């Protein structure tokens, strides 16, 4: 299959050898599970259980909070001990409303799980989408966007290709690699089911060439299906970005503020495909995921399948703890991941890795003045000019930064990685995108209020006009009656 060049990008030390050959192991059930109501893009889920309730594995414990939201399920059987605030697995350390479950040790599935769909390929696409939504499945590559919403894109766009993202370009992470090696048949089946729901006739599975065993396993599993192509893509960070993977596979560049679906392509992660397989074939919702635990400070790096809601502290302890105090603990990969405020945070649906990085691995150095070397411009995979965007942001000229395309930045961190002055460029861009988004929400809120006030005033004016018209009509009728009475009196006198 012909591949196309992608601009920019970098080649960091991948350091995947620590866990690439480590088969997936299962974490024993911890003493407590913590299920946040916000572990996906969109509106938070709404809890439908309370302290004291008994739950079974797979039981719905929080319903979807809107069109873009996700249902949450009990990862095991047990008792709800609290619905309270717990620290989020995010650098902010802000609290999230969380359902805390004490496992009963039985790990007993709920009796009312939805029945398996015997022949998904004969089912209406809406049936598949509804099952995926009911199963609480989100993008498991890190974005955590509700998968059912993406599966609905086939009703709005003419789609040609479902692209399964197996690039896993972030250093250290190997959970997708292991999923493809150990569960290739499940991934292929999930991909076929999603393609059916989307109405996409073709499936392409893109895997970086530094994963030859995964390419071989997926190729064997796909061999019986003529509409599936498994292709090795160049080892080039950030090849796992969906826009850049689409460009490498199709040669098409996704325009700013457009979707890959506008090009006829929808992208889903390999772990998401496996979750869809389990939901459709067995009626099982998303209650577990595979996570890579690695980094120089971790005693026994591993790929671990864990119940959602497991405390990161329990996961790290299972991997032997730390051999030295880590300089930083990261949720995700070292390039796009978020530093964790502590280990007392729960595993969530979009968490692909926990890294305990040493000072040597973080490579932190004090920032120096920009020397305007242009290296960040050369390697930016989005064709942006980081040096200029950062200059505007430093002077709080966010609107100017927006004109230079800061909202098109994918936050890959390539510019920060290559900067000889060690300027944390991506931090500037993330700040600007957050501030611009907040300003846009405030503008929309004020516009809504303005519209409500204008509508209110228009109704008042209309009511007042109606009252005036009614009063005028009444006065006219009274005058007419008076005139008629006078005329009658004049006739009588005559």
User: Quick one: pLDDT band at residue 477, thresholds 50, 70, 90?
Assistant: confident
Per residue in 435-460, pLDDT tens? 998 888 888 889 999 999 999 999 99
The radius of gyration of the chain's CA atoms, rounded to the nearest angstrom, is 29
Q: Are strands 302-307 and 288-294 parallel, antiparallel or unpaired?
A: antiparallel
- Please, which residues have CB within 8 angstroms of residue 39's CB and are 6 or more apart in sequence? 70, 72, 138, 144, 308, 348, 349, 350
The pLDDT score that the predictor gives to residue 475 is: 85
pLDDT at 52 over 90: yes
Burial annotation 278-295 (CB, 10 A radius, 16+ → b, else e): bbbbebbbbbbbbbbbbb
Which residues face 73 on adjacent strands? 60
Per residue in 64-99, pLDDT tens? 988 899 999 999 999 999 999 999 898 888 899 999
Show the DSSP H helices in 69-198 as ranges. 125-134, 147-151, 175-182, 184-198
Cα→Cα distances 209→231, 232, 314, 355, Å: 9, 5, 33, 23
> What angle (nearest 5°) sits at the alpha carbon of residue 150, between those of residues 146 and 151?
110
Number of helices (H) and strands (E) in the chain: give both, helices first. Answer: 14, 17
The DSSP element (H or E) to which 25 belongs, if any, is strand 25-26
pLDDT at 279 over 70: yes
Question: Beta strands of 338-407 (E only): which ranges?
Answer: 338-339, 353-357
User: Quick one: pLDDT band at residue 319, thresholds 50, 70, 90?
Assistant: very high
The pLDDT score that the predictor gives to residue 476 is: 84
User: Quick one: pLDDT band at residue 479, thresholds 50, 70, 90?
Assistant: confident
pTM, entire model: 0.89
Cα→Cα distances 11→3, 236, 325, 372, 417, Å: 19, 6, 28, 22, 10
More confident residue, 16 or 486: 16
Estimate the crossing angle of helix 212-222 against helix 175-182, to 10 degrees: 40
The pLDDT score that the predictor gives to residue 480 is: 83
The pLDDT score that the predictor gives to residue 333 is: 94
Cα→Cα distances 433→4, 288, 382, 406, Å: 30, 32, 15, 7
pLDDT at 338 over 80: yes
**What is the pLDDT of the chain when averaged over all its residues?**
94
- 165: tokens are 């993202």
How many CB atoms are located within 10 Å of the residue 16 CB? Answer: 20
């Amino acid at each position: 299959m012909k591949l196309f060049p992608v601009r920019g990008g970098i080649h960091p030390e991948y350091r995947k050898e620590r866990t690439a050959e480590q088969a997936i192991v299962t974490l024993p059930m911890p003493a407590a599970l913590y299920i946040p109501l916000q572990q996906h893009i969109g509106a938070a889920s709404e809890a439908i259980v309370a302290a004291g309730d008994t739950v079974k594995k797979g039981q719905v414990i929080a319903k979807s909070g809107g069109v873009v939201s996700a249902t949450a399920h009990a990862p095991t059987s047990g008792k709800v001990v609290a619905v309270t605030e717990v620290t989020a697995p995010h650098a902010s350390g802000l609290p999230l409303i969380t359902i805390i479950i004490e496992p009963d040790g039985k790990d007993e599935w709920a009796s009312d799980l939805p029945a398996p769909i015997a022949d998904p390929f004969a089912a209406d696409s809406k049936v598949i989408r509804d099952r995926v939504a009911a199963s609480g499945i989100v993008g498991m590559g890190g974005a955590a966007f509700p998968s059912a919403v993406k599966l609905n894109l086939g009703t709005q766009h003419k789609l040609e290709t479902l692209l399964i993202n197996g690039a896993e370009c972030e250093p250290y992470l190997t959970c997708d690699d292991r999923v493809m090696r150990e569960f290739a048949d499940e991934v292929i089946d999930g991909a076929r089911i999603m393609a059916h729901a989307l109405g996409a006739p073709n499936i392409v599975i893109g895997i970086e060439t530094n994963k030859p065993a995964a390419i071989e396993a997926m190729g064997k599993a796909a061999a019986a299906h003529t509409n599936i192509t498994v292709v090795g893509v160049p080892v080039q960070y950030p090849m796992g970005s969906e826009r850049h993977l689409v460009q490498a596979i199709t040669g098409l560049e996704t325009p700013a503020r457009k979707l890959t679906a506008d090009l006829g392509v929808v992208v889903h992660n390999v772990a998401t495909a496996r979750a869809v397989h389990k939901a459709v074939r067995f009626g099982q919702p998303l209650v577990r995921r595979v996570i890579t635990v690695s980094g120089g400070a971790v005693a026994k790096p591993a790929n671990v399948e864990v119940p959602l809601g497991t405390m990161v502290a329990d996961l790290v302890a299972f991997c032997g703890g730390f051999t030295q105090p880590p300089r930083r603990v990261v949720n995700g990969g070292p390039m796009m991941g978020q530093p964790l405020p502590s280990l007392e945070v729960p595993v969530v649906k979009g968490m692909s890795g926990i890294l305990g990085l040493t000072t040597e691995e973080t490579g932190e150095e004090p920032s120096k003045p920009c020397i305007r070397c242009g290296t960040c411009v050369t390697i930016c995979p989005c064709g942006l000019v980081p040096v200029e965007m950062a200059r505007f942001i430093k002077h709080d000229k966010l609107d100017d930064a927006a004109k230079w395309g800061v909202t098109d930045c994918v936050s890959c961190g390539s510019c920060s990685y290559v900067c000889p002055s060690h300027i944390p460029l991506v931090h500037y861009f993330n700040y600007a995108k957050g501030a611009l988004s907040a300003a846009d929400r405030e503008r929309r809120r004020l516009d809504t209020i303005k519209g409500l006030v204008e509508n209110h005033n228009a109704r008042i004016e209309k009511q007042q006009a109606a009252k005036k018209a009614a009063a005028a009509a009444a006065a006219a009728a009274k005058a007419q009656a008076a005139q008629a009475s006078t005329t009658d009196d004049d006739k009588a006198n005559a």
